[in-house]
Each structure stands twice: as structure tokens, then as C-alpha cells.
Structure 1
Amino acid sequence: MMISRQLLLTYLYLLIYICLSSGVILFNKWVLSPKYFKFPFPITLTMIHMSFSGVVAFFLVRVFKVVAPVKMTFQIYATSVIPISAFFASSLWFGNTAYLYISVAFIQMLKALMPVATFIMAVLCGTDKLRRDLFLNMVLVSVGVVVSSYGEIHFNVIGTLYQVTGIVAEALRLVLTQVLLQKKGLTLNPITSLYYIAPCSFIFLFGPWYLLEKPEMDISPIQFNYWIFFSNALSAFALNISIFLVIGRTGAVTVRVAGVLKDWILIALSTVIFPESTITSLNIIGYAVGNYYAFSFRRDIICKWIL
């Protein structure tokens, strides 16, 4: 009976992770979309997430002492946390901006490039080596994404560039986390990561927000519902906690497998919730090919970098 309860609890954690991950993506799309909530300010939304996560993480670490802070020196913060925060802020900024131009389904299809981008950055940073079999896998993943893009009815160059740039920024963040932090013996869980990185990311986003979004927000009527943004930020924070719980209970491989299932569910849900998100047979074929080879693309690398 005890084994059955433990197994049931594991499935419950996975279900919560899949629901939260899908929910946050759909929620962000709904908030940013000019057809629905009509708040087309992705940098502002990202800053709301960072400020909320930073405040909650501070209370969890310093007040309630749920987790202990790591031994962080000024030198480590300046040489490691600041560049990681810059790429983290960039990945969120560009990724959220893509919602203004392309569908959730197509965004998930483009994310099949994530293992490829991460591995390329790892090779450039000298933490991994390029081999012929890996190069073939990279080509097959890229072919799958190209086929999926070719089959996209509402293909948008700007949105695609934003999403790909966000993927590259996220790949750099993951590699830098390995190079700059883990090699120094520092391991950050989601709570301590947000405790150190969220405030710094907020500062990095302030400049682009002041130049790009603040002028438009000053002259445009803004639909600012505090409950909507509070629940949106809370969902994003809860997602980070769910990832921490699932990894602690099952491991990174299971999270990645659950992520593949989540992507397919999310693609199907997005076409129902957002009727304009039409998918074609070429979309499905390209994504299936790209996703298959992305998942089989050095499982050890996927477990090492992509959660």
C-alpha cells in the first residue's frame, strides 16, 4: 500500500507540473494577445514576474528560512550571477514577445531547437565536444523545425526571430550556469535561483522597458487588473517550485519526458483555446521529427542542461 501511495504522489507531482507549465504558457499568451486581454507589453509582464518571484524568494529564504542561502561572495555575484541574470532576462523578454506574433503551438515547435542551441553553446564554451553523430542529430532536428515552419499557415518572421533569439539566450544561460556556478561548487535550486537572479534580471529589464514600453504605456490606455497579474505571477512562481519537487522526486529524465507530453498537450489545447492557432499536417510531421531527435539528442546532455 505504501508503494502505491508513493507512486500516486509521484504521478500527482507530474500532473501538477504539466498543468502549471501548460497553464503559464497559455496564461501569458492570453494576457499579451491583442485579441484577448490586450496587454501587449512583454517586458512589463516579465518584470512583474521577476519582482514577485524575487520578493517571495526573499521571504522564503530570509524570513521563513525554507531553504538556506548559498555562500555567495561579491566576486561570484559580479562574475557569475550578473551575466546569468542578463541572459535569463533576455530569454524571458524575447520569449514573451514572441507571443505577440506567433501561436503557442508554433512556439512549442520551435522549442525543439533548444537542445541543439544549448549543445552548440556548450561546444563554443569548451564544455563539450562536437562529433559526427551529434552533428547528424542536430541536422535532423533542424530539418524537422524547418518543415514545421514551412507548414505554418500564419508564419511571422519577426515572431520567429524573437523566439529563436530567446532560445539562444536561454541556451547561453544554461551553459553559463554550468560554467560559472557549478564549477565553483554552487548549486542553486529554483528558490535560491530566484532569490539571487530575479532582482538582477529586473534591473536588466528596466532599461529596455523604459526605452521601449514606458513611452507607449504613457499614451495608451492600459487594462491593468491586479488580480490577473497577481495570479499570473503566482502561477509562474509555482511552476518553478513544481519543477523542483518533481526533479527531487523523480529526476531530470522524468521531467524531460513529462515535458514532451506537456508540449503535445499544449499544442492541442492552444488550437482549442485560441482558434487562430491553426496547425497543419506539415506542422505535426516536422514537430514529430524534430522532437524525436531532440529528445534522443544525447540524453545525457538533455538531462544535464534542459529541465
Structure 2
Amino acid sequence: MSAMKSWGRVSTMGLVAAWYSSNIGVLLLNKYLLSNYGFKYPIFLTMCHMTACSLLSYIAIVWMKMAPVHTVKSRVQFMKISALSLIFCASVVSGNISLKYLPVSFNQAIGATTPFFTAVFAYLMTLNREAWLTYVTLIPVVAGVIIATGSEPSFHLFGFIMCVGATAARALKTVVQGILLSSEGEKLNSMNLLLYMAPIAVVLLLPVTLCMEENVVGATLALARDDLTIIWLLLFNSGLAYFVNLTNFLVTNHTSALTLQVLGNAKGAAAVVISILIFKNPVSVTGMLGYSLTIVGVILYSEAKKRSK
């Protein structure tokens, strides 16, 4: 029995390590491609991610049976999934655009304010009120980002707006998903939801890519003629984007949603440190103090939420 327990602990630790590696890896690789490599096509990059998620989701669920297949039961449910896919696209595209202009450390600091936006949208859309202490814990979350923003050496207004938009869209998706797929018959696990959302995202992103990044295929082929590495980077990056979702699902299954939230906070801090070491972007002491304050606020928020249940 103890051998089984220790094996379960080891496998959970392995999954958490894989989730961390893929999550931080895709973030750093996105930054490298969009800022350092000279691949200036964030919408096309998102479309590559969604294409990989479509194909690999199908293989994982339909062929490898890693999760039971849930069918879409009605046109209404399909429309709900499409709405979620649109918000999901907005979040990922905005996040990738922000990485063109902002360092990963600052990007993660803004991203840590997701609980604030989630609480705001939950109140506006469902009139769901939290305990007053939960709202108090959001003060350091926002204050930390304000401090970090005021002292960020690489601040870029458009990048900042895109990053805030991405964070808000991420929170909106969580709330909308809770509202739209709340009935027992419509609930989908994250792997099945991705299986349906990713192809819809590709269809939505294709015309946007062609309009806003019209010469992307020609430019990518031109880059590939000079250096074939770009093709391998895009393939690896896209596969990694799916692996983030897969490991997220597996870690949630092995732990709990709350544990995942705590692990996510630590992951953000790890991404900040690793990105500063790799990209050597300038950071101020005040900025790091601001980000630390945000992380403390998020941890307090998680605790307050747990106690209010």
C-alpha cells in the first residue's frame, strides 16, 4: 500500500514538473520567437497552436482514449462552445501580441491579477458576491501590479493594454464557462472542451490572420529558406502548447483545482526568475517588490475563497 502511495506521489510530482516545464517553456519560446527571433506574427502563431491542439486532442481522446469522448448534444451547446472559443482566441492572441512588446517578467506580473478580473466578472454577470475578506485580499493583487507598472524599465503602453486585455479575457472565459456549461448534461472536461474549441478557434483565426498578417506564409517560407530552424521551432512550440493543456488536465485530476491555483502562482514566480536569467531584461527592485505583493495577494485570495466555502 505504501509503495502504491509513494508511486502516486512520484507520478503527481512528475506531472507537476511536466506542467511547469511545458507552461514556462511555451511562454519563453513565444517570447523568443516574437521578440528575439524576428518572427512578428502573433496571430499566426496562435493559429499554429490551435491547429496542433485540434489534431493532438483528437489523437489523445479518440485514438488513445485518454479521456471519455463527450459529444455535443445540441446546436445551443455548440454555440456556447463557439462563444467560449472566441473569448479564448482573444485571450491567447492578446497575450502573444503583448509578448512582442513586454518582458515575460512584467507579462506574468499583470497575468497574476486574473483573480481580480474573475471576481469582477463573476459579480457583474452572476451577481455572485464573495465574503468581504475575499475582496480585501484583491487590494494587494492590484496594488502590486500598479507598483510594478510604475517602475517597469521596459514599459510599453500598447503591450500593457494587450496584456491586461489577455488577462481579463482569461478571467471572462472562466466565468462564462461556469455560466454556459453549468448544467450536468452540458459539462465537458477540459480535454473535451479543447477538442471542440480548438478547431473553431482555427476557423475564427484564419480570416483574421489573412487580413492582419497577409504575407505570413510567404514570410515564414522566406525565413525557412534562410534557416530551417523556424519550422522546427513552430512545430515544437505548437506541440508544447497542447502539452500545457494536457498536463493541466492531468494535474487537476491528480490533485484539485485549488492545488492547481497555488501551483500556478508558484509557476508564475518561477517563469519571472527564469525569463530574467535568460533574456536579461532590466528589472527594478521596486518592480520585484510590486510583483511579490501581487503574489502574496493571490495566495491570500485563494485562502479567503477556501474559507468562505
Amino acid at match of 2:292: A
2:241 to 236, 239, 242: 236
The RMSD of aligned alpha carbons is 2.2
Structure 1 residue 184, shift from structure 2 partner: 4.8
Structure-1 separation of matches of 2:306 and 2:77: 27
Structure 1 residue 175, shift from structure 2 partner: 0.8
Aligned residue in 1 for 2:21: 19
Structure-2 separation of matches of 1:238 and 1:221: 26
Structure-2 separation of matches of 1:10 and 1:264: 20
Any idea what the Cα deviations from partners look like across 1:9-63, whole Å, max 9, x if unmatched? Answer: 2222222211111111111111111xx2211100000000101110121233334
Any idea what the Cα deviations from partners look like across 1:223-253, whole Å, max 9, x if unmatched? Answer: 2432211111111111111111111111122
Aligned residue in 1 for 2:86: 86
2:282 to 278, 284, 299: 278
Aligned residue in 2 for 1:209: 209
Q: Give 5+ residue unaligned stretches, structure 2.
A: 225-229
Structure 1 residue 110, shift from structure 2 partner: 0.6
Any idea what the Cα deviations from partners look like across 1:174-200, whole Å, max 9, x if unmatched? Answer: 111100012354333332122100011
- When residues 198 and 302 of structure 1 are mapped into structure 2, their CA distance, relative to the original with a 3 A threshold, is farther
- When residues 122 and 302 of structure 1 are mapped into structure 2, their CA distance, relative to the original with a 3 A threshold, is farther
Amino acid at match of 1:79: M
Deviates most, 291-300 or 170-179: 291-300
Is the contact between residue 51 and residue 198 of structure 2 (CA under 8 Å) also seen in structure 1? yes
Structure-2 separation of matches of 1:62 and 1:300: 40
**1:173-188 to 2 correspondences below 5 Å:** 173-188=173-188
Structure-2 separation of matches of 1:281 and 1:180: 43
Amino acid at match of 1:93: V
The DSSP-based 3-state class of the residue aligned with 1:169 is: helix
- When residues 187 and 50 of structure 1 are mapped into structure 2, their CA distance, relative to the original with a 3 A threshold, is same
Is the contact between residue 191 and residue 246 of structure 2 (CA under 8 Å) also seen in structure 1? yes
The DSSP-based 3-state class of the residue aligned with 2:283 is: coil
Amino acid at match of 2:161: L
Structure 1 residue 215, shift from structure 2 partner: 4.3
Structure-2 separation of matches of 1:150 and 1:96: 22
Is the contact between residue 57 and residue 191 of structure 1 (CA under 8 Å) also seen in structure 2? yes
Q: How many residues align?
A: 300
**TM-score, reference length from structure 2:** 0.90
Structure-2 separation of matches of 1:219 and 1:58: 30
Q: Does 1:290 align with 2:294?
A: yes
Any idea what the Cα deviations from partners look like across 1:260-296, whole Å, max 9, x if unmatched? Answer: 2222221111111102x22111111111111111222
Structure 1 residue 222, shift from structure 2 partner: 4.3
Aligned residue in 2 for 1:226: 231
- When residues 111 and 45 of structure 1 are mapped into structure 2, their CA distance, relative to the original with a 3 A threshold, is same
Q: Give 5+ residue unaligned stretches, structure 1.
A: none
Structure 1 residue 91, shift from structure 2 partner: 0.2
Amino acid at match of 2:288: I
Deviates most, 248-257 or 113-122: 248-257
**1:67-146 to 2 correspondences below 5 Å:** 67-126=67-126, 128-129=128-129, 132-146=132-146
- When residues 132 and 258 of structure 1 are mapped into structure 2, their CA distance, relative to the original with a 3 A threshold, is closer
Is the contact between residue 87 and residue 173 of structure 1 (CA under 8 Å) also seen in structure 2? yes
- When residues 204 and 290 of structure 1 are mapped into structure 2, their CA distance, relative to the original with a 3 A threshold, is same
Is the contact between residue 38 and residue 223 of structure 1 (CA under 8 Å) also seen in structure 2? no
- When residues 45 and 301 of structure 1 are mapped into structure 2, their CA distance, relative to the original with a 3 A threshold, is farther
Identity fraction in percent: 24
The DSSP-based 3-state class of the residue aligned with 2:101 is: coil
Structure-1 separation of matches of 2:15 and 2:220: 42
Deviates most, 207-216 or 244-253: 207-216
Structure-2 separation of matches of 1:229 and 1:302: 40
Structure-2 separation of matches of 1:216 and 1:67: 35
Any idea what the Cα deviations from partners look like across 1:72-131, whole Å, max 9, x if unmatched? Answer: 123233431011000000000000100100000000111121000011111111152155
- When residues 5 and 215 of structure 1 are mapped into structure 2, their CA distance, relative to the original with a 3 A threshold, is closer
Is the contact between residue 52 and residue 233 of structure 1 (CA under 8 Å) also seen in structure 2? yes
Aligned residue in 1 for 2:227: none
The DSSP-based 3-state class of the residue aligned with 2:223 is: coil
Deviates most, 160-169 or 4-13: 4-13
